[in-house]
Amino acid sequence: MAKLLPFRGVRPTPTLAEKVAAPPYDVLNSAEAREMAAGNPYTFLHVNKPEIDLDPEIDVHDDRVYQKGAENLQSFIADGVIQQDDTQKYYVYRQIMAKHEQTGLVAVASVEAYEQNLIKKHEFTRPEKEDDRVKHMDVLNAQVGPVFLTYQAEKHIDELINTVTESEPEYDFILGDGIRHTFWVVSDAETLNNIEQAFVDVPCLYVADGHHRSAAATRIKNMRQQANANHDGSEAYNNFLVVVFPHDQMKILDYNRVVVDLNGLSENELLELIKKKFEVSEQDNAHKPSALHEFGMYMNGQWYSLTAREGVVDETDPVARLDVAVLQDNILSPLLGVDDPRVDKRIDFVGGIRGMEGLEKRVNSGECKVAFSCYPTSIEHLMAIADAGEVMPPKSTWFEPKLRSGLVIHSLD
């Protein structure tokens, strides 16, 4: 089965690509998106965060928000900001962040392969977020945010991709955060065929980031198939937009937690309960863990180091040994009452790119009572869990650099 296919991408005219490229929809809140979009009518935030063009009092899940996104997308097409390629193509997307470099293939992935677990998952989704992505794709009639996939690195595929990057890129720019984005278009018939066949031989792919988008794409496919009496499997909705990178180029940061209250406990009571399973020490500065099974905790202006005591972690269990699971199973659930972080509104997740300052800000503002910093999950642990058919706790991994939205989209027409 061909897991990855070329497609007719809808993408910016080269002179506007830098202005169009925008962060993913889920790494900015609405206020941050409004600020970033100010003065830039071309930013893709008008499509993937369309509430920025409406009254701030309107709920982000209001029907008017999705309709505004569709309207903005059609305006971009009508005005020539973006246009669809005439033929099916692959694309190659390179990002350089400081000393880290990753180069991936942009394609569409088979929903059938996803359903057959040839594209493996490692997380459950949060229902309300999945519903949001279904509606966004359906109303826009397009997939505008790529799913981030990975695979066990293959030298032959590396060589194919490197050959593409020896040619002149279509886009090449550095944004305000210092990350360089370079984008190539693959249209040569022989190269297209070689890439497609190379991935046929890859046993499986893994969802690294984008579980809600991939799950939503599957629901869209099933909805549209049922509504289409002439369905034959060739329709665009049978595939979803992805960028796929070899596993040895992945950079995973920590994914941290904040909780809005202490579940009726005092600070001292919480500390005493934590000490039953963790060595606890006060820290003079923000504590970013430097090893597995070590955590930072910030509460009432004070940082603490928490280190799991011997015997607390079951190292034979691929899920239980994850630090996000250790935190969930020993503190968040039994002490703070966060039994299902997928749906509990009392917990939130803060990506490691925001640093320890991001955790301090949420607690110092009074919005949350306690924050926890974690050691990053490894890509090897991620793949081992997916291979075992197990599921990580939600928000176990934060990948950087983030894929920019708007460089190419997949129309469902």
Residue spans per domain, the chain = 4-252+401-411, 255-375
- Return the CATH number of the domain spanning residue range 255-375: 3.30.1760
Q: What pLDDT does residue 126 have?
A: 79
Residue 102, SS3 per DSSP: strand
Phi then psi for residue 160, to 5 deg, are -60, -45
Q: What is the mean pLDDT of residues 335-347?
A: 93
- In the structure, what pLDDT confidence band is assigned to residue 117 with cuts at 50, 70 and 90? very high
Distance, in Å, from the CA atom of 164 to the CA atom of 61, rounded to the nearest integer, reads 40
Reported as a single tens digit per residue, the pLDDT across 356-392 is 999 999 999 999 999 999 999 999 999 999 999 998 8
- Once rounded to an integer, what is the mean pLDDT over residues 333-356? 93
The token pair that represents 120 in the structure block: 């493996």
The pLDDT of residue 257: 98
Percent of all residues in the chain with a pLDDT value above 90, rounded to a whole number: 90
List the beta strands (DSSP E) in 127-253. Answer: 142-143, 147-151, 171-174, 180-186, 205-209, 239-246, 252-253
* Extended beta strands in 203-327, E state: 205-209, 239-246, 252-253, 255-259, 278-283, 294-299, 302-308
pLDDT tens sequence across 136-166: 999 999 999 999 999 999 999 999 999 999 9
Neighbour tally for 291: CB within 10 Å: 8
